[in-house]
Chains A and B, each alone.
Chain A
Amino acid sequence: MEQAQIPTGMLLQKAVKVRTDILEMVAEAKSGHPGGSLSAVEVLVSLFFYKMRHDPKRPDWPDRDRFVLSKGHAAPVLFATLAESGYFPVSELKTLRKLNSRLQGHPDLRVPGVEFPGGSLGIGLSAAIGMALAGKLDRKGYRVYALLGDGEMDEGETWEAAMAASKFKLDNLTAIVDRNGIQQDGLTEQIMPIEPLGYKWKAFNWHVLEVDGFDLRQVIDALEKAESMRNRPTVIIAHTVKGKGVSFMEWDPAYHGKAPDKDTVRKLVEHMRKE
């Protein structure tokens, strides 16, 4: 029933816009983290253009749903999504990482729509717990979403937070793991194996869902299921590909933190818009 109403055409268009924004802004900045931004595009598009209750004209609306980007190095996907949502002009994206811009290399609270300054890995889920606890205290109906990287599973604090969210029965909290399989030094399963990841979260008493992170219907369906779960937080393990949409970047750890040049990006963007 719910699925029939999903405007997939619009969401796919938004995904193309966000993806091309990311490439253009990173190329303009000559640095940044395109790989882990491109892998999270459909998750952010599903949240900001469909699932979340938010109002770009009132970024401080107390009842808004909150999105915490714990893997803060994926700032380009957050900034692009916020701009395409109307929090600030899309034209500002080209100031990314430049002196006197509010679009810092990692999210900063100066940017309307940014809820948490993620950057140092492992903290975002804790902060999302704080927001979810405050929501319960204030008897507000808002939901809190936190996007974590799979490399971030290495951080001990992630599991401190996982324990706490279960203890506090935070059914208003949904964590999403961008399971793109790659961290800065290489494959996650070589650098620090995190499998079986679903079982780990289950063992911490979370409601666990696994989806194809590029399938909008699967992502949205999981977000709906998370919302209907009572007394338990939900984690959605979104299986993705780092660098998604750019053939030479996909599965290449080098593009964790490397920007493609402007010429290449121009050709890529033209190609993506035509498709």
Chain B
Amino acid sequence: MLLQMSSMRDAYADALLELGSKDTRVVVLGADTSVSIKTSLFSDRYPERFFNVGIAESNMIGIAAGLALAGKIPFVSTYSAFVPGKCLDQIRNAVAYPNLDVKIVSSHGGLTVGPDGASHQTVEDVAAIRAIPHMRVVVPADASATSALVSESWRTPGPFYIRLSRATVPEIYSSPADLEIGRAEVLREGSDVAIIACGVMVNEAVEAAESLSKEGIFAEVIDSHTLKPLDSDTILKAAKKTGGIVTAEEQSIIGGLGSAVAETVSESYPVPVSRVGLHDTFGESGEHKELMMKYGLTPLEIMKASRKLVASR
């Protein structure tokens, strides 16, 4: 299989340019990282609608709230380590509580900043945002998904947290991807186990399912790009069909996708859920791929978890 690699940052920057031309209400805010995450392209094209606030994330969220209150649709972007990390209170009180049309799109989520180390990696951002009422949480799997879901967020009133990866990732979807907020995508049908993933782990899930099929284990693969609101219908359907779920995410298993899936099935249709992700630990310096290996974010770990689930029945 020839893998087409693509960049979520590029896709985000392109999506912003398109939204910017369609809708003059779209404004973009940056915090001294706009060249790195490529929102500077928007700034080049629409300088009057781009606001660089310097290294001041709390102020950036507050300004975005004011812009939204005056009728704008602000897209706010910097590294995932700092938004929400440095401004959770502003997100909670100035954006989520009043349910404002602010789209927070953070880049460099998870372990993808690699050598920069734990201070710049994020394991808890999704869990923190997920617990805040009104917030929608989206973790796209590739560039096409990023374009589609960023556009969907623009179409959907209310606050969003969209978490992108720095890494170039294999294309999962053909472009343009037909994705909807809150609708999980069944990428592969299966009967023995359901692998539910988000973000960069979707590709690892697809690879794991491919290898498992050679062992006679037929895994369903679901891209649950929207962690909130979670597509509980699709997840419960998969639970009923397969009788066991493996979740995979590039973040702490506490409060993320694995938690959300476990909460859903345990209330409505209890089946065993095995969570692949970071086990209550920070990351460290190292190449992204090395870190993924060391912390068990690999097709191999997904396969191990799947075999164990199948064997326990």
Contact = CB atoms under 8 A, between A and B. Distances in A.
Interface string B274-313: 0000000000000000000000000000000000000000
B188 interface: no
Contacts of A62: 71
Interface string A125-137: 1111111111101
Interface string B91-105: 011100110000000
Contact of B62 (A115, A126, A138, A163): A126
Contacts of B38: none
Interface string B73-105: 010000000000000011011100110000000
B66 A129 contact: yes
B34 to A, nearest CB: 15
B58 interface: yes
A119 B93 contact: yes
Interface string B220-239: 00000000000000000000
A163 B54 contact: yes
Q: Mostly helix, strand, loop or mixed at chain B's interface?
A: helix
Contact of A134 (B56, B58, B72, B94): B72
Contacts of B94: 116-117, 120, 123, 126-127
A161 B59 contact: yes
B51 A168 contact: yes
A157 B66 contact: no
A156 B87 CA distance: 12
A163 B55 CA distance: 11
Contact of A120 (B67, B70, B89, B98): B89
Interface residues of B, number: 30
Given A119-B93, A133-B51, A164-B53, A126 B27 contact: no
A126 B58 CA distance: 8
A157 B59 contact: yes
Given A109-B98, A134-B72, A137-B48, A156 B58 contact: yes
A160 interface: yes
Contacts of B27: 137
A253 interface: no
A122 interface: yes
Given A117-B93, A160-B53, A128 B66 contact: yes
A204 to B, nearest CB: 13
Q: Which of B56, B62, B92, B98 has the most CB of A within 10 A?
A: B62
B93 A137 contact: no
B59 A135 contact: no
Interface string A41-73: 000000000000000000000100010100000
A126 B90 contact: yes
A137 B49 contact: yes
A131 B70 contact: yes
Interface in A204-231: none
B225 to A, nearest CB: 29
B59 A137 contact: no
B93 A160 contact: no
Contact of A123 (B48, B56, B65): B65
Q: Which of B54, B58, B66, B72 has the most CB of A within 10 A?
A: B66
27 contacts: A117-B94, A117-B97, A119-B93, A120-B89, A120-B93, A123-B65, A123-B93, A126-B58, A126-B66, A126-B90, A127-B65, A127-B94, A129-B59, A129-B66, A130-B65, A130-B66, A130-B70, A131-B69, A133-B51, A134-B67, A137-B49, A138-B71, A156-B58, A157-B59, A160-B56, A164-B54, A164-B56
Given A116-B98, A126-B59, A163-B54, 6 more contacts: A123-B58, A126-B60, A127-B69, A130-B65, A130-B74, A134-B72
Query: 4 shortest A-B CB distances, which residue pairs?
Result: A130-B66, A126-B62, A134-B70, A160-B59
